[in-house]
Amino acid sequence: MRIAIVGATGSVGAHLVNQSLHVGHDVVAVVRDPAKIDQQHDHLHVVVADVTDDDDRLRTAVADCDAVVVALGDGMRGRVRAVGTRNVVSAMKDTGVSRLICQSTLGAGDSFGNLNWLWKFIFRVPLRKAMADHVEQEELVRASGLDWTIVRPAAFTDGDHTGRYRHGFDSLAKNLTLKISRADVADFIVRQISGHDYLHQAAALSY
């Protein structure tokens, strides 16, 4: 399959590129700075585009792809996730691409109940703008009319790629660590590229 990864040089995006190539996908890495792609591969294609701009470069990147993965991160700042996702959705509609997998965060929407008191405070106060960005992003995805899956990972770690984690749990789930490695987030997303277990659903991830 041909996959566009938006945010390919991010902390999860880099794992997405590597794991997608490993399982045999053709990968279109959508990046602002091509110098941050430090590998070459026959099935890796780099397209320079700024997702905050709705222009032809983004449409070129997603055209002829079987799926698009959005793995945008912006820390505590701005609305890059929402603005970028809106432009990706527009580009997908313009080019007839229907499968969208969007990385959000555990704590968005009904998954807020999964958080402990500390994370609830963090998302309500220091990270309130980032959470608002995630919520707006998810609303755009749900209203897109595309074949979407939202992925809500817990707090990232630099741990190993294990392939063993909890997913799809509801807001009442107990005994969550509220952590997951970036590599395992990528593992789950890559599995969704060719799977439809969570079509039109938001899947929570944690150990």
Would you state the pLDDT for residue 53? 85
Would you state the pLDDT for residue 79? 84
pLDDT category at 76 given cuts 50, 70, 90 is low
Range of the domain at 13: 2-206
Question: Locate tokens 């969570």: which residue?
Answer: 198
Helix boundaries (H) for the chain: 13-22, 56-62, 80-95, 117-124, 128-142, 182-193
State both tokens at 13.
């995006």
Q: Is the pTM higher than 0.75?
A: yes
Number of domains in the chain: 1
CATH number at residue 52: 3.40.50.720
Would you state the pLDDT for residue 77? 62
pLDDT category at 74 given cuts 50, 70, 90 is confident
Give the model confidence (pLDDT) of 167-196 as tens digits.
999 999 999 999 999 999 999 999 999 899
